[in-house]
Amino acid sequence: MKLLIKGGALVLKDGEVKADLLIENGKITKIAPAIDEKCKVINASGKHVIPGIIDMHVHLREPGFEGKEDIESGCKAAVAGGVTQVCCMPNTNPVCDNAVVTTYIKRRAEEVGLCKVNPIGAITKGQNGESLAEIGKMKSAGIVAISDDGKSVANSAVMRLAMEYANDFNLKCLCHCEDAALVDGGVVNEGFNSTQCGLKGSLRAAEDIMIARDVALSESLDIPVHICHVSTYSGVEIIRSAKSRGVKVTAETCPHYFILTDDIITGYDTYTKVNPPVREDKDRQAIIKGLCDGTLDCIVTDHAPHSLKDKQVEYNLAAFGISGIETSFALSYTYLVKSGATTLCGLMDKMSRRPAQILGLDGGEIKEGAVADLAVVDLNEKYVIDGAKFISKGKNTPFGGYEVYGKVKYTLVGGEIKYAD
Ligand code: DOR
Ligand code: ZN
Ligand code: ZN
């Protein structure tokens, strides 16, 4: 099986190169100025070839919440977004806290056969925050990390145990940072807008306290930890200072935190309701700065599809979450690269290379010998985001009507075309 991508600008680790790229048996076997082969050809002239996006934080909802999303619809949406590999959170029903659910997810994803799906196991049984899940057995079944995403492990002694135990299996804890007692039913960022709208707010401190705690555990125990979806300027500062001391902390953020501010809640649109909440402009700016200086390692979506009935209710009752996997590349390209904050190489480092490094996954880079997980994108193609047109079952985007650049034209996984625009 051969495939030739001709005439594109390849986004490599250290820069862009105009070259042809040959794929044989699922691998990139040759990169050269002009390759001629008798095989299927993708004409990429005028387009860019990027490493496939590795979205290490998504919710695929299966098993249990197939009304919101399932593995097939989630994977179809992923490849439409240029994503070749996802890591899916365990807050399903049943929770992925055992090897049976892990195996089910992996098998189902193989049947679907679109992108690679790496399950994340729960930290505690049923995400109850008390007793550790079957971490070792789940590792044997194929989990790539553990997380109780959706909430923090409130008990610090349980969290310590989880980190030590996971580390013995060479797994990282991915920490959703939120002090539930302090959030106390808050639905948006606590500040001027929450007061004016009459919506209960949640302080930055609710997030920062848990970031600081998990960083402190990591430092004291000398065990790596990963902080999920950072949304506060102060959280960025905690991580920056920890990194400067050599603490083994890595961190992610999402497009909504570097694009939106809580001004958008004033329309009471429940598609803006997400956890942690979008905050203020100083947070937004600090997150961009954190991405650019390496404090924040990667961009994920926290793709959280919900059904209409979960969102078409009053703000206080609506589910938290944004359906983001189909828009992450275009939004990130438009708001970070076109704006001049970083380069396309810098962006793909955040969206592909670093996630692969953090979790020890295959892929993340275009080079000879690497697996042929990549996407062809047209950076000049402009379009308007419309949630109604999403492939994902979750139409819940706050970015409807946004004009973005960067259309995904092809997505290849293991050298096979899994999406064509
Ligand atoms: O907004 C969110 N939605 N934040 C989370 O932590 C969980 C997620 C979900 O599962 O819907
Ligand atoms: Zn979370
Ligand atoms: Zn999440």
CA atoms in the 13 A half-sphere facing the CB of 14: 0
Is the sign of the CA dihedral 111, 115, 116, 119 positive or negative? negative
Question: Exposure string (b/e) for 16-37, b if CB count within 10 Å is 16 or more?
Answer: beebbbbbbebebbbbeeebee
Same domain, 80 and 65: yes
**Alpha carbon of 320 to ligand 3 centroid (Å):** 10
pLDDT by residue for the chain (421 residues), tens only, comes to 899 999 999 999 999 999 999 999 999 999 999 999 999 999 999 999 999 999 999 999 999 999 999 999 999 999 999 999 999 999 999 999 999 999 999 999 999 999 999 999 999 999 999 999 999 999 999 999 999 999 999 999 999 999 999 999 999 999 999 999 999 999 999 999 999 999 999 999 999 999 999 999 999 999 999 999 999 999 999 999 999 999 999 999 999 999 999 999 999 999 999 999 999 999 999 999 999 999 999 999 999 999 999 999 999 999 999 999 999 999 999 999 999 999 999 999 999 999 999 999 999 999 999 999 999 999 999 999 999 999 999 999 999 999 999 999 999 999 999 999 9
Q: Which residues pair with 371 in a beta bridge?
A: 27
The terminus-to-terminus CA distance of the chain in angstroms comes to 22
Query: For position 65, what pLDDT does the model report?
Result: 98
Residue among 80, 89, 4 at smallest CA distance from 42: 4
Query: For position 315, what pLDDT does the model report?
Result: 98
Same domain, 348 and 412: no
* Helix, strand, coil fractions of the chain, as percent rounded to 5: 35, 25, 40
Q: Whose CA is nearest to atom 4 of ligand 1?
A: 275
Measured from the Cα of 321, ligand 1's closest atom is 1
Query: For position 308, what pLDDT does the model report?
Result: 98
Q: Quick check: is 375 in a domain? A: no
Measured from the Cα of 306, ligand 1's closest atom is 11
Domain carrying residue 13: 2-47+407-420
Query: How far is residue 76's CA from residue 367's CA, in Å, rounded to a whole number?
Result: 26
Measured from the Cα of 176, ligand 1's closest atom is 6
**Where would I find the beta strands (DSSP E) of 79-140?**
83-88, 116-119
Catalytic residue among 55, 70, 302, 310: 302
Beta strands at 173-175 and 116-119: parallel, antiparallel or unpaired:
unpaired
Ligand 1 cavity residues, CB under 6 Å: 59, 91, 149-150, 176, 274-275, 304, 320-321
**Alpha carbon of 239 to ligand 1 centroid (Å):** 22
Query: For position 97, what pLDDT does the model report?
Result: 98
Determine if the pTM surpasses 0.85: yes
Q: Is the peptide bond preceding residue 94 cis, with omega within 30 degrees of 0?
A: yes
Q: Looking at the CA of 311, name the nearest ligand.
A: 1
Same domain, 30 and 112: no
Q: Whose CA is nearest to atom 3 of ligand 1?
A: 321
The question of whether 302 is a catalytic residue gets the answer: yes
Same domain, 130 and 191: yes
The number of distinct structural domains making up the chain is 2
Q: Quick check: is 106 in a domain? A: yes
Query: For position 166, what pLDDT does the model report?
Result: 97
Retrieve residue 377's tokens.
């994108």
Q: What is the CATH number of the domain that holds 416?
A: 2.30.40.10
Same domain, 346 and 266: yes
Same domain, 104 and 77: yes
Same domain, 92 and 198: yes
Same domain, 270 and 398: yes
**Alpha carbon of 20 to ligand 3 centroid (Å):** 37
Same domain, 6 and 84: no
**Alpha carbon of 3 to ligand 3 centroid (Å):** 36
Query: For position 73, what pLDDT does the model report?
Result: 99
Same domain, 23 and 133: no
